[in-house]
A = this chain, B = another copy of it.
Amino acid sequence: MTRDMPPDLTPRILDAVDAAFDDEVDFLAALTAHPSTRGNEQAAQDFMAGALAERGYAVDRWQIQLDDIRHLPGFSPVLGPYEDAVNVVGTHRARTNAGRSLILNGHIDVVPEGPLDMWDSPPYAPRVADGWMYGRGAGDMKAGLASNLYALDALRRLGLAPAADLFYQSVVEEECTGNGALACLARGYRADAALIPEPFAEELVTAQLGVLWFQVHLKRRPTHVAYAGQDANAIEAAIPLISALHEMEARWNGAAHRHHAYAHMDHALNLNIGRIEGGDWTSSVPAWCVFDVRMAIFPGQSIDAAKSEIEAVLMEAARGNAFLKNALPEIVYHGFHAEGYALSDDKSATAAQAIGALDLAHGAVTGEALERTAITATTDARFFGLYADTPALVYGPRAEAIHGFNERVDLESLRRVTKATALFIARWCGVEEI
């Protein structure tokens, strides 16, 4: 069932997005200027809370409490305190409640910018060139936060509001745990559907992988280099462990193990050695080394089973190593314990209706069919889909070099996504006079 819209509403909504689009770009630049890496999101969240409050939304700004979420499915372990982890939700309560409720979700955290000399311009001084905005987080996913906000603004410009409750969420921790989105669930926010404009090039994400993070700690007594061969070197001891993990990665990618949404992909599951640190003096044989690993899993693959296999693989490799056999590695989980999620496996009528509404909205803006994609990353969509029985549509603008240098988002793509989002809201929630 898809709600009909007055025939003249579509062009009016499109015009309303265009009318405010320069403002939207300015808003995106101001938001991107906040260096909201993990632990540093508060100023950006203040900015979001202010933007919601000045538009009349009821703003809920709260510090995440681990005790509220650690017992919930989907929780990911964290290291260190959560004093700086603040979520923001703006709530619109409908007068008529004639339509279906909606969560518009986006994350405020960005990944580290890396060495500054690799950027052509400073990562937190966003600039526009040739139709792209450059900056860390401009694509992943502050453009999505802007799109969600300005889609609602377009309706307001027409004297309209969603005819159902709508929750605008700006969450932390998408890039490492998802505990920000989980905390929104724990706080009771629920709706009939969710939309997350992650930057997947105007395609609908119908499947996403799960992700596990773990740290491998190697430690043993060191000595002066004059007295030791490489067998005693904690840094070099990491090498056979990394090899063993890649062998596991190849097995997990085998055709027999694939989720059907990834059947055509030879290497959907990427193992990444994302960080390493070891040793402290060039002429001391390093006694310690720590490396961080990200490994993907398919939808339906058990996290506990994946962890058991990872541990077995590491221990078997360690027992074959001169350095490690007497000092087995310690495996520390901090960060993602994320299951995979396939919207395409959700056979509910609600899911079909939500997808249908987005199909129509996308078609009205672009004149083209909405493409489906199975992505090789995770998003917060899993919380809605797996733990709240809520179909979660991931659909956002085109961006490039996310997690890289010179990250950028295509501003015309942002314009189209904002339009499609506004149309989707109008169709899904219905509209009412303000």
Q: A-side interface residues toward B, CB under 8 Å?
A: 111-112, 114-115, 118, 140, 175-176, 211, 213, 219, 221-230, 233, 235-236, 239, 242, 246, 267, 270-289, 291-294, 335-336, 375-377, 401-406
Contacts and interface: CB of A to CB of B under 8 A. Distances in A.
28 contacts: A111-B281, A111-B284, A114-B288, A115-B219, A115-B288, A176-B283, A211-B283, A213-B282, A222-B405, A224-B377, A224-B404, A225-B377, A227-B376, A229-B267, A229-B270, A235-B276, A235-B291, A239-B239, A274-B281, A274-B283, A275-B280, A275-B281, A276-B277, A279-B292, A282-B294, A284-B403, A285-B403, A287-B405
Nearest to A376: B226
A224 B223 CA distance: 38
Contact of A221 (B239, B273, B275, B405): B405
**Max chain B CB contacts within 10 Å: which of A233, A404, A406?**
A404
**Max chain B CB contacts within 10 Å: which of A227, A273, A336?**
A273
Contact of A277 (B228, B277, B403, B406): B277
B222 A281 contact: no
Contact of A282 (B225, B272, B375): B272
Q: Tell me how many chains of this kind the complex includes.
A: 2
Contacts of A283: 111, 175-176, 211, 213, 272, 274, 294, 336, 377, 403
Given A111-B284, A114-B288, A175-B283, A270 B401 contact: no
A77 to B, nearest CB: 13
A275 B270 contact: no
Contact of A274 (B272, B286, B294): B286
Given A225-B270, A229-B270, A377-B225, A112 B287 contact: no
Given A118-B287, A287-B118, A225 B281 contact: no
Nearest to A223: B404
